[in-house]
Structure 1
Amino acid sequence: MHSPLTRRGFLAAGSGLAAATVLPGLSACSALTGADSDPDTLVVHSQLGTTAPGSPTYLAALDRFRKENPGLKVKNLINGDDLAQVYETSRLARKEPDVVMVNLYDKTLAWTDVGATVDVKGYLDDWGLRQRVLPRALAEWTDAKGRVRAFPYFATNWPIAYNRALLDRAGVDAIPTTGDELIAAARKLRVKKIAPVTVGGNDWTGQKLLAQIIQTFLTEDAARHAYSTGDFGSRGAREGIEYFVTLRDAGVFADKAQGLISDSMVTQFNTEAAAIESAMSSALAKVPPKVARHTEVGGWPLADGAAHDKPTILRTYTLIGFWISPNGTKKIDTVEKFLRFMYRPDTVARFIKESGRDMALRSDTVSTDFPLVAAAQRLGSTVSQALLPDVFVPPAAAQPLITATSTSFTRGTSAAKVRAALETAYRSA
């Protein structure tokens, strides 16, 4: 299945791409004029710099880099979820920034293939940085043609967080590991007016949890096929959808989950209005200390006959990477200095210690001030890993899958309708 963002399509899109709304301090004009011809000015486009997890550490790193390289300047352009669209707009005008810090998902999947960014494999080797990257991370950032899309940086563990105190209050004696135990726990929690599993059923958090549950009866290869092609008709996929529907209609998820978003989910869990959430590292790092003290992390409960032998979590090494643009190749010496600095063990360690970030790079540093992040790192063989579908979903299907997710979390929607909604999301792809 081909990406809709072909080279011709990318160029033709220029007339239809409106500049996205950008954060304060960065006008749409400045995004389009991000490229600086001064070889001593590096232009970096990032989601870090405001409230995104790791922003204070990142800004401090930029300050250290400037002090260590007094002849160089760094211009930091900031966007949120609209970063990919803003970057594409600037690239169409040939005024793109030199380096882009963003994850591998949706629009960005096509960038290297259409020349919006360059293959960094040669740079990774020439600069001697390959050995700093975890092998699994390098594999995830490498495409089918052997090109390395970007320099891997942030990773994430994505376990299930259980508020032990709320479970105890409801009379739930142990962390549920089976679907039946989860349903029983949900009923007891509701008696105490506590939401069971909170989830952003109307955004990417719900999409990921739905994919994780559907994979209960799927091997990794079967899951890869389903999410690459949009074919959810296999026996395992149908059983996974039916398992999800059973849990949903038994009241496992928070009320009106189909309208919740990630912020709603985090708020409900952190204020102890809900007992359970599917939480990636950045969410675990935000859990208040008083809540974290009685929170445990584990996997998603399994059903009888599951393809996995232990409760599942998600992991990915594609959360943020450093992409090099065509303009960046014109300042490659400056880009090299910047990436060598960001890959230094001391720089990496500060993201782990100060921000609770999981990294795609080798490090012995532990998130001591972020106990739940560290606990997720220690789960190891006590859980099974489901496939994060991001790099397999065609870009054109990514947003329609969010709509399908909201439909799926709507109580009363049959398993057949959930499957139809998922498969419909792929029709434009």
Structure 2
Amino acid sequence: MRSPLTRRGFLAAGSGLAAATALPALSGCSALAAADSDPDTLVVHSQLGTTAPGSPTYLAALKRFREENPGLEVRNLVNGDDLAQVYETSRLARKEADVVMVNLYDKTLAWTDVGATVDVKEYLDGWGLRARVRPEALTAWTDGEGRVRAFPYFATNWPVAYNRELLDRAGVDTIPTTGDELIAAARRLRAKGIAPVTVGGNDWTGQKLLAQIIQTFLSEDEARHVYTTGDFGGRGAKEGIDYFVALRDAGVFADKAQGLISDSMTTQFNTRSAAIVSQMSSGLAKVPEEVARHTEVGGWPLAPGAAHDKPTILRTYTLIGFWISPNGRKKIEHVERFLRFMYRPETVSRFIEESGRDMALRSDTVSTGFPLVAAAQRLGDDVSQVLLPDVYVPPAASQPLITATSTSFTRGTSAAKVRATLEAAYRSV
């Protein structure tokens, strides 16, 4: 589906956001103002640099790049979840960074279409870097017009982590692979005062798990249709919603899951308060060693008649890419040097070895220091992959879907109400 955001809409929306956007969150307004004025400064806007997974490795890479390029200053601007909004505001002022490191989701889906960033296909090919990219990643970053939105970089596996020690304590002998087994395990865990499945039902983590469960009865093509159009009325989508509601009302999810967020979810699992979590690889990398050694990774349990023959996981190659801005095109020689450096096998390997990151680039390196990440990489044919809906959900529906997620995780909400709430998220599209 073509994004409803037009160039005029982008400009109008950005002007309304300007007053509310926290520009000081960048490394100072003066840094932003210099973004396109200094030909010997490369400005990179990213979420890496503070506590985000991979930040120490990234900062070390910047240090090495600066040492190799003494005549080129590199300025790293850092934002968190508001990066896309801050970038759009800076672009309106024509003071945007040269390179942006962010995922393909929500606002960013429209950037290349409205000229906020440039098609990088000619650079990917011209610089000879296409062969470094996994084919699945290149497909994911290519839009319907054949444009490559950004240089792919971070990927992620998204399995389900099971604390074997807590399951044993509750008398659960095997990792659940069916819905009935999961419900039985949840009852045993609750009897021991242990939360079964912890989930951020009030943010994106819950939205992803809900989407995963709904896809239990959907093929990939059917799931793509559902999340592109918001049509949850087909038989498979209805069965998936019914399955979710049955699990929820049987007590599978932690108490008050509709109010939890990713941080509380992670805390519950990492402190042994909950036995099961659906966790992306960057989160698996942060599981404490004393918990990780008792943890197994697998997929989400299936229901009878599922469209998949094995428990499911999510996987995506669009976690972080290097987007080139119109300002970056003016400094394309500097951008080329930077991206060639970041694409080097040794640079990629350090992210895998030091930070436990999954990469969208080809590499034989394995996350040996992050056993759960490595275990997720080895799952292979033991699990079935379902669709991560991010690149198919229209930007206008992304945040409403998170609100719908909280409603869905509220116990007692009927399947019909869950469906109506999900479909309502698409009304403004």
Instruction: Provide the C-alpha distance between the structure 1 equivalents of 2:80 and 2:24, rounded to a whole number of angstroms.
Output: 7
Instruction: Provide the C-alpha distance between the structure 2 equivalents of 1:23 and 1:204, rounded to a whole number of angstroms.
Output: 26
Cα contact 2:48–2:54 (8 A) shared by 1: yes
2:234 matched to which residue of 1? Answer: 234
Shift of 1:303: 0.0
Instruction: Provide the C-alpha distance between the structure 2 equivalents of 1:176 and 1:73, rounded to a whole number of angstroms.
Output: 53
Instruction: Provide the C-alpha distance between the structure 1 equivalents of 2:4 and 2:273, rounded to a whole number of angstroms.
Output: 42
Letter in 1 for 2:192: K
Provide the secondary structure at the position in 2 that maps to 1:59. Answer: helix
2:158 matched to which residue of 1? Answer: 158
Question: 1:25-44 maps to which residues of 2 (within 5 A)?
Answer: 26-27=27-28, 29-30=29-30, 32-33=32-33, 35-44=35-44
Corresponding position: 1:285 with 2:285: yes
Letter in 2 for 1:26: S
Instruction: Provide the C-alpha distance between the structure 1 equivalents of 2:208 and 2:255, rounded to a whole number of angstroms.
Output: 19
Letter in 1 for 2:165: A
Instruction: Provide the C-alpha distance between the structure 2 equivalents of 1:187 and 1:48, rounded to a whole number of angstroms.
Output: 40
Cα contact 1:34–1:96 (8 A) shared by 2: no
Question: 1:83-102 maps to which residues of 2 (within 5 A)?
Answer: 83-102=83-102
Instruction: Provide the C-alpha distance between the structure 1 equivalents of 2:183 and 2:215, rounded to a whole number of angstroms.
Output: 19
Question: 1:250-329 maps to which residues of 2 (within 5 A)?
Answer: 250-329=250-329
2:216 matched to which residue of 1? Answer: 216
CA distances 1:270-317 after superposition (whole Å, capped 9, x unpaired): 000000000000110000000000100000000000000000000000
CA distances 1:335-387 after superposition (whole Å, capped 9, x unpaired): 00000000000100000000000000011111011000000000000000010
1:425 matched to which residue of 2? Answer: 425
1:119 matched to which residue of 2? Answer: 119
Provide the secondary structure at the position in 2 that maps to 1:327. Answer: helix
2:360 matched to which residue of 1? Answer: 360
Cα contact 2:162–2:277 (8 A) shared by 1: yes
Give 4+ residue runs of structure 1 displaced > 4 Å after superposition. 22-25
Instruction: Provide the C-alpha distance between the structure 1 equivalents of 2:333 and 2:349, rounded to a whole number of angstroms.
Output: 25
Instruction: Provide the C-alpha distance between the structure 2 equivalents of 1:249 and 1:37, rounded to a whole number of angstroms.
Output: 58
Cα contact 1:170–1:189 (8 A) shared by 2: yes
Provide the secondary structure at the position in 1 that maps to 2:96. Answer: coil
Cα contact 2:199–2:260 (8 A) shared by 1: yes
Question: 1:3-22 maps to which residues of 2 (within 5 A)?
Answer: 3-18=3-18, 19-21=20-22
Shift of 1:24: 5.7
1:171 matched to which residue of 2? Answer: 171
2:410 matched to which residue of 1? Answer: 410
Cα contact 1:22–1:80 (8 A) shared by 2: no
Distance 1:211 1:34, change over 3 A: farther
Letter in 1 for 2:324: I
1:57 matched to which residue of 2? Answer: 57
1:183 matched to which residue of 2? Answer: 183
2:139 matched to which residue of 1? Answer: 139
CA distances 1:396-428 after superposition (whole Å, capped 9, x unpaired): 000000000000000000000000000000001
1:244 matched to which residue of 2? Answer: 244
Letter in 1 for 2:251: G
Cα contact 1:22–1:79 (8 A) shared by 2: no
CA distances 1:135-173 after superposition (whole Å, capped 9, x unpaired): 000000000110000000000000000000000000000
Distance 1:263 1:31, change over 3 A: farther
Shift of 1:15: 2.1
Letter in 2 for 1:330: K
Instruction: Provide the C-alpha distance between the structure 2 equivalents of 1:20 and 1:14, rounded to a whole number of angstroms.
Output: 10
Unaligned stretches of 5+ in structure 2?
Answer: none
Instruction: Provide the C-alpha distance between the structure 2 equivalents of 1:271 and 1:22, rounded to a whole number of angstroms.
Output: 36
Shift of 1:2: 4.1
Cα contact 1:190–1:196 (8 A) shared by 2: yes
What TM-score do the two structures reach when normalised by structure 2? Answer: 0.98
Unaligned stretches of 5+ in structure 1?
Answer: none
User: What is the RMSD computed on CA atoms of the aligned residues?
Assistant: 1.1
CA distances 1:18-74 after superposition (whole Å, capped 9, x unpaired): 3523676634x3474251322221000000000000000000000000001111110
Cα contact 1:22–1:78 (8 A) shared by 2: no
Shift of 1:179: 0.1
Provide the secondary structure at the position in 2 that maps to 1:16. Answer: helix
Cα contact 1:245–1:414 (8 A) shared by 2: yes
Cα contact 2:270–2:287 (8 A) shared by 1: yes
1:390 matched to which residue of 2? Answer: 390
Distance 1:280 1:34, change over 3 A: farther
Aligned residues: 428
Cα contact 1:157–1:376 (8 A) shared by 2: yes
Instruction: Provide the C-alpha distance between the structure 2 equivalents of 1:412 and 1:391, rounded to a whole number of angstroms.
Output: 31
Instruction: Provide the C-alpha distance between the structure 2 equivalents of 1:34 and 1:413, rounded to a whole number of angstroms.
Output: 52
CA distances 1:229-261 after superposition (whole Å, capped 9, x unpaired): 000000000000000000000000000000000
CA distances 1:71-92 after superposition (whole Å, capped 9, x unpaired): 1110000000000000000001
Give percent identity, aligned residues only.
Answer: 85
Letter in 2 for 1:394: P
Cα contact 2:90–2:96 (8 A) shared by 1: yes
Instruction: Provide the C-alpha distance between the structure 1 equivalents of 2:75 and 2:27, rounded to a whole number of angstroms.
Output: 11
What TM-score do the two structures reach when normalised by structure 1? Answer: 0.98
Instruction: Provide the C-alpha distance between the structure 1 equivalents of 2:203 and 2:22, rounded to a whole number of angstroms.
Output: 19
Cα contact 1:34–1:77 (8 A) shared by 2: no
